[in-house]
Amino acid sequence: MTKVCVVKFNKLNEKNGRNIRNMTERRKLGFFSCGTGNPIDDCWRCDPNWQKNRKRLADCGIGFGRNAIGGRDGRFYVVTDPNDDDPVNPKPGTLRHAVIQEQPLWIVFKRDMVIKLKQELLVNSFKTIDGRGVNVHIANGACITIQYVTNVIVHGLHIHDCKPTGNAMVRSSPTHFGWRTMADGDAISIFGSSHVWVDHNSLSNCADGLVDAVMGSTAITISNNHLTHHNEVMLLGHSDSYTRDKQMQVTIAYNHFGEGLIQRMPRCRHGYFHVVNNDYTHWEMYAIGGSANPTINSQGNRYAAPRNPFAKEVTKRVDTAESHWKSWNWRSEGDLLLNGAYFTPSGAGASASYARASSLGAKSSSMVGSMTSNAGALPCRRGRQC
């Protein structure tokens, strides 16, 4: 069912390992008439028959999570029931029944629905949760946990008002259920997992983080999301002492960090983080923070500082003396700094570190507005360009 995008290498971007989709294929989709310069969206959104070729999305990934195929190689599973009556014995047709299966599945929804989860939704490997074409909210209960699995795509959902849950039995596969301690109340928690892509979701107002990735998670792309009304937005790295996160690589691209956000966009530990072509229109404390010597490569973003004269700095080194953080590799390249915003760089610019924190070619910051204008869950309708 999937047209595999032919990959060519653009010499201008080879140094960052960025692959570019076959331009001939894009012309067929009207690329030049509806393209925004956002390489993910321009790969699939221009096709009015997107609904008949949903799995094309899996070939449109970028960044460190670009190889996340989700349920591309499996069948479709249609969620028909918004209920979550029994987290140990979920009914067929529910989202929980879909995500725990062992085989690859591309999960879609029959109609608009609000899903209030009793306990964490434990997603198994090789799953895509695809909310395009309907209006799906996961809200007012537990939310999504991606733990010790691989190849997961979460796309097109509204996830908000997530609550701490736990001290309960929850099923994680058809053959296993177990006791879950208290969960923090993240919108999406990525724990010891790899090849994860979180794209075009609207995330807000949860008890802990909106997207947290910890405990050795890596090969992650967080893209095209609209994040609002939240304090500690995104934590990448478990703790200063958890050195396994030194291998973590995360791409944060084309997101809109919007109104009502306070801090951690993201807050990084240890690993390698490519923050590229995002729109930061609101923060109250700071945008990008870190500790434990993370490498942060900020390229082509638009940072608009708040009015507060004491919150103009984009960056924050958390609980660390300058004598320690001055050697950390944090750089700003081509970022647009507005309303007095300033980025405090550090480090000697070690090329090897930045090579590990580079995952695609950055576009000009002047394009950020168009590339992020449709961040969040899209109002896709069949028979029309999405």
Yes or no: say if 354 and 329 are a contact pair by the CB < 8 Å rule: yes
- The number of C-alpha atoms within 13 Å of 1 and in the hemisphere containing its C-beta is 17
* Dist CA 272 CA 190 (whole Å): 16
Helices (H), the chain: 23-28, 31-34, 39-44, 95-99, 322-325, 351-356, 368-372
Residue that the structure tokens 């990735």 belong to: 213
In this structure, what are the phi and psi dihedrals at residue 380, rounded to the nearest 5 degrees? Answer: -70, 140
Q: Find the radius of gyration of the CA atoms of the chain.
A: 20
3-class DSSP state of 243: helix
Q: DSSP secondary structure string, 345-363?
A: -BS---HHHHHHT--SPPP
In sequence order, what are the beta bridge partners of 302? 279, 336
Catalytic residues: 264
| Other Cβ atoms closer than 10 A to 14 | 11
**Looking only at Cα atoms, what is the longest distance across the chain?**
58
Q: DSSP secondary structure string, 299-326?
A: ES-EEE--S-TT--BSEEETT--HHHHT
* Dist CA 331 CA 353 (whole Å): 11
Q: DSSP secondary structure string, 256-292?
A: EE-TTEEE-SSEEESSEEEEES-EE---SS-SEEEES
